[in-house]
Structure 1
Amino acid sequence: MTPPFDAEDLRLLDELQALYAAVEPVPAELVACAQFAVDVESTDFGIARIEDSAPLQGAGARGTTGTQITFDCGPELAVMVQIQVRDDGDVRIDGWLTPPGDQQVELRTEAGTTAVEVSPEGRFAVDHARRGLVQFVVRAAGTTVVTPAIVV
């Protein structure tokens, strides 16, 4: 039986690898982003998906620009967040859970996890989040849902 690759095949593959590394290198933060996204303490959770996102122009009373993202967490829950960069470089996150109820929200960052207070109407806010990767963990009605990691 002949090996699947001979020396010439391996040389060509090395050249292709070098070409792709030069023309379109793998982003340096890709591995860290992937590890962050799947490194959740619990293994029993649902995964939300981004349903919609749109830039905000002159949004709200602050008159700043930002982004609005809606996460579909299944038939029973949706999470909408508005992300606005503050003048000091931090980020303000305003969020709403639908339907409102007895829910808990955690903000995961590269620095750790922070519990976020949720009002009975399903509203929550983080006034000073650091720029970088974030992820929301929502616990409602005995289930846990994790949003995709996003860069703010």
Structure 2
Amino acid sequence: MEPETGNQSEFEPLDSCDERILAVINELHHRDDPIPNDLNDRVEFVLELEAALDAKVASVYRPKEFALMRGDTELAVNQGDPASITFDCETVTVMVTPRPSAAHEMRLDGWIGPEGTYAVEFRSPQGTRRASSDESGRFVIEGLPDNEMFQLVIRPDEALQREGLPAVVVTPAVRL
């Protein structure tokens, strides 16, 4: 496509060619990466939690792959168990690893940092399960439904809150 004016600079107003290009890009975004229908609900949920409950909403942390070079061979190295999910906010990190434990049931092994005692809630459409971490931040929840969406609510003990940790950390919902 030729611009309508051959010597148009970057600071001149958009012409019809620019508008057609932007329309195609807009269509591609709407078709291939639409805005989630529940985006407003998600944003309101996070704002309400952080404002009303002194809660922090953790995000899913995806570490980059590391590559080792040896001669002409490149080896990709992943950090940790590929089934593990790590949630992270400014002050708390939660890593969980789901493992099959029985027919159609899962076991969730978890670790919370910094070390300390935490109350852990596992929320799913099936209901809420509760657990407590040990002093190192480790916890286990067994008998969980397989292939189910879940969310964790982490509550540090009072000593950790005095050290600056938020009263509540909520993870986004993910599927086991």
TM range (shorter): 0.5 to 0.7
Q: How many residues align?
A: 112
In structure 2, the partner of 1:71 is 87
- Pairing 1:108–2:123 present: yes
- The CA RMSD measured in Å over matched residues stands at 3.0
Task: State the TM-score, normalizing by the size of structure 2.
Answer: 0.53
**Residue 107 of structure 1: how far off its partner (Å):** 0.6
Structure 1 segments (4+ residues) deviating >6 Å? none
**Residue 86 of structure 1: how far off its partner (Å):** 3.3
In structure 2, the partner of 1:147 is 171
In structure 2, the partner of 1:81 is 96
Asked if structure 2 preserves the Cα contact closer than 8 Å seen for 1:78 and 1:97, the reply is: yes
Unaligned runs of 5+ in 2: 1-30, 64-77
Structure 1 or 2: more strand by fraction: 1
Aligned mate of 1:50, from 52, 57, 60: 60
SS of structure 1 residue aligned to 2:62: strand
Q: Aligned letter for 1:70?
A: T
Q: Aligned letter for 1:92?
A: R
Q: d(CA) in 2 for partners of 1:125 and 1:147? A: 17
Q: Structure 1 pair 117/103, CA: closer, same or farther in 2 (3 Å)?
A: closer
**Residue 111 of structure 1: how far off its partner (Å):** 2.0
Asked if structure 1 preserves the Cα contact closer than 8 Å seen for 2:111 and 2:137, the reply is: yes
Asked if structure 2 preserves the Cα contact closer than 8 Å seen for 1:73 and 1:79, the reply is: no
Q: Greater Rg, structure 1 or structure 2?
A: 2
SS of structure 2 residue aligned to 1:139: strand
SS of structure 1 residue aligned to 2:83: strand
Aligned mate of 1:98, from 81, 88, 113: 113
**Residue 126 of structure 1: how far off its partner (Å):** 1.0
Unaligned runs of 5+ in 1: 1-19, 57-65
In structure 1, the partner of 2:141 is 126
In structure 1, the partner of 2:67 is none
**Residue 117 of structure 1: how far off its partner (Å):** 2.1
SS of structure 1 residue aligned to 2:97: strand
Q: Aligned letter for 1:72?
A: D
Asked if structure 2 preserves the Cα contact closer than 8 Å seen for 1:106 and 1:137, the reply is: yes
